[in-house]
Each structure stands twice: as structure tokens, then as C-alpha cells.
Amino acid sequence: MTRTFIWLGVATATMAAACGSSNSTKDDGSHDPAMVAQGQQTFRFDTFGDETKWTDTLHMNDVISSAVSPMVALSLGLKVDADALPASVVSGIQGGTIDLKSPATTIALLKLDAVVGVKGTVDSSSGTDTLTRVGITCALCHSTVDDSFAPGIGKRLDGWPNHDLDPGLIIAQSPALTDAQKNVFKSWGKGRYDPRYNIDGQNGPQEIPPAYGLEGVHRITATGDGDKIEYWNRYVAVTQMGGHGNFTESRTGVNVTNGTDDLVSDKLPALQAYQLSLPAPAPPAGSFNADAAARGKAVFEGAGKCSTCHSGALLTDANTRLHDPSEVVSEPEATGTPSYASRSATKQYRTPPLAGVWQHPPYFHNGSAATLDAVVATYNSRKNLNLDAGQMSDLVEYLKSL
């Protein structure tokens, strides 16, 4: 049965696609620059027609117009692309002549395509800017900025998870929701989102993962549900963002169609090419102890038993197997919360790759480890590794170096 959800989605889990599209990958493994450029535009600016959801159903254009100033937007974790700001706006912000407490300023920023991951249609025919339609893009959850201009304002960092973003609190501002729905969304917190809540009605938010460093990784979601671009990109675009198209999954019984047109399928190959071109960020200079990291690598490959699953050049066995929840140290979930895997198509978890792991705390799919120290301590305890304090410290330094 086709289900059209009154949903609220923010692009989560990840809009990242699996590798290996003949349309975008050359024989040497590189990606067609034209496809990458096209995919960047899709990633940053394409809503797939989801204004139908965000405007017609949730009335978020009205919410923004009446109550979301730049100060409020930044407090919710939304980001501003400094490169989209003309010199007059930059000087106005710096000089205090632009009112950052006015929703009208937010509309002006949307008119400039400066709000990362949010696309607005602004009508100026009456002499006053009016936000008539609003939608979201992949970049909302999977981009941030470098804060080079001010906190929350800077150059885009595509593929970096926005762990400042509070998607649930943003959604909860919609006047179309019941109080009960709003309470669920408000419970998620910053950097967390449940990409299945609107499917099964169960509340178990997950950490927004990075969308970089995925070249060569076939299973790109926490549960490894799909290894082709048509799967997870389509899932998020249609069932979460509310884009126009269809997603069908026989294993979970999901069959969602939005609209009568398909604004998703043709965009997926280029979107994949761009996402797979995003490298994991190198650790900042001086952010780890090199000698300790070298010792930690030996622990990783030896007493820590990490390389049993974090194997190969990509430090993951995700391309060859998935794991039962009983093997995963982040299980069980919080009391009363069903296992996230139990809600998925595979009922299992993948081993995540570790490139750039220094950049995106908290850790584990459910964010249950706040730091890399907590990750190592959790493994040491639940896997009975018997690592001493020195070994654990060295292992953390190695993870920081990846």
C-alpha cells in the first residue's frame, strides 16, 4: 500500500551514496569533474520538490517569517555561507547596521542562498520581501561551516555532519503538529535525528553521520540496508525530505510516493559523484601525540582487537559482512527503546570506517560515547580486553590520527 507521510524530514542518516556508478567513475577511480560539479549543486541547493512538505504541509515559511531571526537560526544550529554574502552585507553585519534579531534579515539571507541547506523562494513584487516557499537540501544535515567569519558563519564544509543542528526542535515549530508529535521531536537534541520515526512510529534518534570519506565503502548507513545509490539517497530524498518520487522496500514494507512527478532519480548519479569526491578531513596539526599514536596502532592491531572488524585499507569490514546487534558494544539501546537495527531492513549493523573519526563526536550510531576515550573504555569493558590505562590512552591517540 502506498503511503504518503505527513512528514517532516530532515535529510539524515546520510544522503551519502554507495560507490561504483558507471555514469560517474572513470577507469582510474576518479570522478567526472562535470558530474561532481553538477552533484555539488544538487547537494547544496536541490530540494527535490520538498517545498510541498515544508511549505504546504508544515507551513515553515510562515514560521520563519514570523519568528526565525538570524540569531534564532544560529541558536538552532543553522549555518550561513559567508561566500554567499555580498560586501555590503558583510560590512553591515560587522558594523551592526544589519538587524540580526529580525526575521526579515533571515528572509534576505535566504534570498541570497546563504542559509546552508535551506532553499527559499522570495517574492519582492510588492516592494517587501515575502518568503512564499521553503524547502531543504542534503546540506542541511551534512554540511557545516568553518566559523571563519563568526560562530555559525563561514565557508562551507560539505560532508561534515552538523552536530550543532537541532532538527527535532526545528520541526517542532510547525503549527501543523500535535503537542505529542512536538514532544517527540524536542526529545531528539542537537545532532540527532530518527530517520524511521515517520515510518514505524518508534522514537530512537541516531547521530547524524559524516558524508565524507565514503569512496570504496559499499555499506554507507549504520545498518547497511543498501549498497546502491538508488537505495539510501532515494530513501532520504523521498521518505525524509519529502521530495517528489518513489521509494519502495519490500523488507520493511515501505512504499512511499510523493507527487506525480519524479524529481529525484535523474539527480542521483551526479549526487553520488560529488559525495564520493569528498575526502575525510585530516587531523589538525598538533592534535595528537605521534609517538603515542604509533604505540596505539600496535594496540589497535593487537591487544585491542580493533582490526578484527576495522580491517583493510578502509578500516572496515562493511564490504564483506554485517554484524548482529549482540556483537555491537553500543547495544543495548536505552531502556524501553527498541534496537535501531530491529527497525531496519538488515536487522544488523555495519562496522563504520574510521577516516576522520577525530572530527565527529559523539560516537556510535546512537551517540552513546561522548569522546574517543569513552569509545575505548566501552570496548575495553564490554569486550573484556583488559587494556591498561597506557594502552587505552595510546589507542585514543591513534584514533585521533586517522
Residues in the chain, overall count: 402
**In terms of DSSP bridges, do strands 80-81 and 130-136 run parallel, antiparallel, or are they unpaired?**
unpaired
Report all structural domains of the chain as residue ranges with CATH numbers, in order of start: 33-276 (no CATH), 290-400 (1.10.760.10)
Q: Residue 338 — very low, low, confident or very high, per pLDDT cuts 50/70/90?
A: confident
CA distances from 281 to 35, 152, 192, 355 (A): 22, 19, 21, 8
pLDDT of residue 18: 35
Cell of 335: 531502556
Among the ranges given (20-34, 144-158, 307-321), the one the predictor scored with the smallest mean pLDDT: 20-34
Burial of 234 (0-12, 13-18, 19+ CB in 10 A): buried
CA distances from 127 to 80, 102, 132, 232, 312 (A): 25, 18, 14, 42, 60
The 3-class SS string of 187-209 reads CCCCCEECCCHHHHCCCCCEECC
Q: Say if CB 85 and CB 114 are below 8 A apart.
A: yes
Q: Residue 157 — very low, low, confident or very high, per pLDDT cuts 50/70/90?
A: very high
Q: Residue 275 — very low, low, confident or very high, per pLDDT cuts 50/70/90?
A: very high
The CB density around residue 125, as the number of other CB atoms within 10 Å, is: 7
**Long-range contact pairs involving 290-297 (C-beta distance under 8 Å, separation at least 24):** 290/401, 292/393, 292/394, 292/397, 292/398, 293/394, 293/397, 293/398, 293/400, 293/401, 294/398, 295/394, 295/397, 295/398, 296/391, 296/393, 296/394, 296/395, 296/396, 296/397, 296/398, 296/399, 296/401, 297/398
- Higher per-residue pLDDT: 271 or 9: 271
CA distances from 159 to 40, 52, 361 (A): 11, 26, 15
> Cell 560517474 belongs to which residue?
24
Span 230-250, average pLDDT = 93
Tell me how far apart the alpha carbons of residues 51 and 42 are, in angstroms, rounded to a whole number: 15
Q: Say if CB 144 and CB 161 are below 8 A apart.
A: yes
